[in-house]
Structure 1
Amino acid sequence: MDGWLARCLRPFKAVADYLNAIAGVPDYQRYLEHMRRHHPDQQPMSEKEFHRWATDEKYGGKGIRRCC
């Protein structure tokens, strides 16, 4: 998206990013940016690997545990 539509949607994206961060939703693009800046010599995980890693980190490596 470019132009006026992107500018109009920017505040909504910022709010969505903020809410996702509060809820603990992993951000793959942010991870890629981090890897590019801080670990350029390492191969980043694929998006699927990244989300599996984030889920394992959040739920103790055993996937999603539910009470019912």
Structure 2
Amino acid sequence: MSAGIALVANGFRGFARYLGAVMGADAYAKYLEHHRAAGHQEVPLSEREFWRDRTDRQDSNPQGRCC
């Protein structure tokens, strides 16, 4: 029985990760990963600064979005 629950829980976590990726919830993590990989010397934006900058850019340059 616990194997079935674990299987359902894993499926739910996978779906939650997928949905988060579609919605852009993982954008800050991807930004940090890119920042590290690109070897930037400056300190990365804080999470708050990142989301503010992203929102400002989307507002000033609207593109096809669902919402």
1:17 equivalenced with 2:21 (yes/no): yes
Please provide the CA RMSD for this pair: 2.7
TM-score, reference length from structure 2: 0.60
Contact 1:28 1:47 in 2 (8 A): yes
Structure with more of its chain in helix, by fraction = 2
Q: Alpha-carbon deviation of 1:26? A: 6.9
Aligned residues: 53
Quickly say closer, same or farther: Cα 1:26–1:52, change in 2 above 3 A. farther
Q: Percent identity?
A: 28
Distance across 2 between alignment mates of 1:58 and 1:16: 19
TM-score, reference length from structure 1: 0.60
